[in-house]
């Protein structure tokens, strides 16, 4: 039985003090939630937010991670650094990392394998752009990213993998895939994982939807059979909105 999983990706928002104040307000409001809840602050806010989350049911995640363990990599943050801060989960392959910062499938796959080896849970993001969808390539692009991101990942490691389907054209635009469109792609992803790792892995994997999830559309999206949660952007920056999405399950 898959457990619903709501993750908030703050992106480049909230200072350390703002983030700490936010989770101190949020945590009591979602304390009784029967779903998995995560917030992913910026690197700079991880310490303050992690300290504020101690003793709560809200997990601490990172928005990215270096592809190397240590060394001359100016501006990068290593797995050991994240682990020391109490980070349990890393988001990898986000569309903004791919589109703005040029991260390739190969680099993302390297990060995925390193994160798993270091004991992290990975939220692997996949999804198509609007031109790719309009040209009929949505499924092939998304499944291509999925297969490349999971290259050489072993079946036993899949228990630590969450997939986030994020149609790039719906991120921060106010546009949202219809619940049926989103569920259709989640079904394709689940079937692809089944072909790679077998039906039990496909049935067990949690697949989040990410693309302008808001309190007013969360319930309908989360009621679909293959949508197991949400990777929330803008709506995760307001306590009442994020709380409403958690409670929409």
The residues that are catalytic are 94, 166
Rounded Cα distance, 240 and 5, in Å: 18
- According to DSSP, residue 5 is labeled E
Q: How many CA atoms lie within 13 A of 25 on its CB side?
A: 14
Rounded Cα distance, 149 and 193, in Å: 12
On whether the CB atoms of residues 11 and 235 are closer than 8 A, the answer is no
Which string of DSSP letters, residue by residue, matches 123-191? Answer: EEEE---HHHHHTT-HHHHHHHHHHHHTTT--GGGGGGEEEEE--GGGSSSS----HHHHHHHHHHHHH
Rounded Cα distance, 202 and 222, in Å: 18
Rounded Cα distance, 129 and 168, in Å: 5
């Amino acid at each position: 039985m898959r457990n619903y999983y709501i993750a908030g990706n703050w992106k480049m928002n909230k200072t350390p003090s703002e983030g700490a104040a936010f989770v101190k307000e949020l945590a009591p409001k979602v304390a009784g939630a029967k779903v998995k809840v995560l917030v992913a602050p910026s690197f700079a806010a991880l310490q303050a937010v992690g300290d504020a989350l101690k003793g709560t049911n809200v997990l601490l995640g990172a928005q990215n991670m270096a592809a190397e363990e240590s060394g001359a990599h100016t501006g990068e943050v290593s797995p050991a650094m994240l682990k020391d801060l109490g980070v349990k989960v890393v988001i990898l392959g986000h569309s903004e990392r791919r589109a703005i910062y040029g991260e390739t499938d190969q680099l993302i796959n390297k990060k995925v394998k390193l994160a798993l080896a270091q004991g992290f849970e990975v939220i692997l993001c996949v999804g198509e752009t609007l031109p790719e969808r309009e040209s009929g390539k949505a499924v092939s692009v998304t499944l291509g990213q999925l297969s490349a991101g999971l290259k050489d990942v072993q079946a036993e490691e899949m228990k630590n993998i969450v997939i986030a389907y994020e149609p790039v054209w719906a991120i921060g635009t106010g546009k949202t895939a219809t619940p049926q469109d989103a569920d259709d792609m989640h079904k394709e992803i689940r079937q692809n994982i089944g072909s790679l790792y077998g039906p039990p892995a496909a049935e067990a994997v949690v697949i989040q939807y990410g693309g302008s999830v808001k309190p007013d559309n969360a319930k309908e999206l989360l009621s679909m059979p293959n949508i197991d949660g949400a990777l929330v952007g803008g709506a995760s920056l307001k306590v009442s909105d994020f709380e409403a999405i958690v409670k929409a399950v």
